[in-house]
Amino acid sequence: MEEVLKLQKRIVPELVDLLEKRYNILRTIYYNQPIGRRVLANDLGIGERIVRTEINFLKTQGFIEINTPGMTITKDGEDIIDKLKDSIHELRGLSEIEDFIKERFKLEKAIIVPGNCDLDKTIMSEIGRAAAIYLKSILKNDSTIAITGGSTMKQVVDNMPRVTNIKNVLVVPARGGMGANVETQANTLSARLAKKLDGNYKLLHIPDSLSDNAVSTIIKEKSIQDILQFIYNADILIYGIGRANKMAKRRGLSDEKIHQIEADGGLGEAFGYYFDKKGNIVYATPSIGIKNSEIDKISTVIAVAGGGSKAEAILSTEISTHGGVLITDEGAAKKIVELINGQ
């Protein structure tokens, strides 16, 4: 099948372009339904006339329905999206890139979703969905999952299907809370994920960034120690990756500290640690939760991040995380390959 797709791309590239266009239209409708034609055209960056032609075709084929609120995807349309996903993956040569990144980072697995979430917001949902599917595939009875906060992790939880055949799953926040947005805090996501897995959860009611003195005091509390043991003994860690300067500002670090992180070459941030291009830690925020030194003890470590703008951040955090899993998008993956080859 892969060879047939490659031949089609070389001999009849216009058919491949049409296939990708219709796939993008269906996927955009799926993640924004119900959606009007004008909004769809704006989201895709193509003319309304072209959209009208394609919409008529997709409606004739029974892939979409058009009602007063807007367009929605039918069951056949959902099936087509799932089946086309693998074809688009092969057409764009993403399997080869997955193998390249897996080998260079010494990963257990690399999963690349077509597209670039910097340019198309629906791709972040695709990344979350890919991560949720992978997480479901590795779940076992008595699993303990540690999850960080953030908008990417929220997409993972949003796209996680209900699981009822796995028993005694425990979900814990990998770190304390951060920021004012409760929806994306690790505590909230832990509780929501546990509910979808028909499991249990424990919460860590501590701000993410604390002074060294506060950390040394709070960590002595028995209730905190009990939760930390569950976190340190997790079977699965799933976390997001951010750009160092952006995450430092979000965590409320001083301008002086932010400048120091940048001067020391900090590019990426994950679970409170800031990494340079060689994977060295240049700074760590004082916090209670998962420690970089504990990660090697966790059997499955899953990093989830996307967008070409995060390529350097992903490279810096993953270059020394051997044996993990990376789930990202095409935009980030291709930029990572460029960066590696440029070195």
Read off the tokens for 303. Answer: 């990093």
Read off the tokens for 235. Answer: 């079977």
User: Are 279 and 319 a contacting pair, CB within 8 Å?
Assistant: yes
Read off the tokens for 15. Answer: 């058919």
| DSSP element (H, E) containing 281 | strand 281-284
What does the alpha-carbon distance between residue 330 and residue 336 come to, in Å, rounded to a whole number?
10
- The pLDDT tens digits along the chain (343 residues) read 556 666 666 776 777 788 888 998 999 999 889 999 999 998 888 888 999 999 999 999 999 999 989 999 999 999 999 888 888 888 888 999 999 999 999 999 999 999 999 998 889 999 999 999 999 999 999 999 999 999 999 999 999 999 989 999 999 999 876 555 788 899 999 999 999 999 999 988 776 566 667 666 777 777 788 888 888 899 999 999 999 999 988 888 889 999 999 999 999 999 889 999 999 999 988 777 788 887 888 999 999 999 999 999 999 999 887 889 999 999 999 999 999 987 6
What does the alpha-carbon distance between residue 150 and residue 163 come to, in Å, rounded to a whole number?
23
pTM exceeds 0.85, yes or no: yes
Domains along the sequence of the chain with CATH: 2-90 (1.10.10.10), 93-342 (3.40.50.1360)
Using alpha carbons, select from 177, 169, 283, 183 the residue that is nearest to residue 235: 169
